[in-house]
Amino acid sequence: MVSFILCLLPALLATTSAQAQTVTCQKCSGSAESCQSPAPTCSVDTAKGGCFTMAEENTLRGTKATGFSRDCMNDFSGVIKDPVTVTLGNGKYLRINIKQCSTDNCNSAVLAVPTVDSTAKEVQCPTCFALNGDPCNTQTIPCTGNEDYCVDFAGTLTKGSEISSTFAAKGCGSASTKEIKAGTSLVSAVYTYTFTKATSKPAEKTTTSGASPALGKFSFALYLPGLTGLLLVKLLS
């Protein structure tokens, strides 16, 4: 029994060591230009967390705002792992790129803001954005690129120590928006978004322009007997 425990001990120690591995991460915030090496560092246990990098661009307040950050995160669970893009119409959009990793200084590279292909898709969503209780007047637009989900968000956005602003937003979003849930927060490189409402569902097919659906090829057959009768009356009169 003693010999068995002695044989098992190195494996247990190796497992414990792997679970308790600590890595060094770059730590900074501001812009990609200001976050150049050498930069401050932090340490984190990789059992649940690690290093992360985040880049953001948005036009939610009418002008382009950008941000870039690197840091340690103790727990990656519940954190969105894929880029998030949302188009809200009237020139307003949100683009967030996120990268997680778990080796020394793995977050030292510059992370680019995600882009959205301008090619229109055959799906559409209602879009709008409003701050501080303003009405969120919707306008339906075709979605583009990889944004084929309709989102409906509400909550607050905060930048640093400034007073939070309430917001309501609808638009076309990437599939990663499905991970955003009501009651959660998304801490990005510019704002902290706290969601009181968050729904994301596949976008509907774009309504084609032209003849009314009631006059489609199948519905037209319903009108044919009446049209035939009118034609006979005209010929006999």
**Residue ranges making up the domain that contains 47:** 22-205
Q: How many residues in the chain?
A: 237
Question: What is the mean pLDDT for each group of 10 consecutive residues in the chain (237 residues)?
Answer: 46 50 93 80 95 96 94 90 95 96 93 92 96 94 96 94 92 97 92 96 77 40 45 42
Task: Report the distance separating Cα 237 and Cα 232, nearest Å.
Answer: 8
CATH code for the domain of 125: 2.10.60.10
Residues 143/173, Cβ–Cβ less than 8 Å: no
**Entry pTM:** 0.77
d(CA 86, CA 99): 18
Q: Using CA atoms in the order 67, 68, 73, 79, what is the torsion angle rounded to 10 degrees? A: 60
SS3 assignment, position 52: strand
Residue type, 217: K
**Residue 2 included in any domain:** no
Rg (the chain; Cα; Å): 27
Domain count, the chain: 1
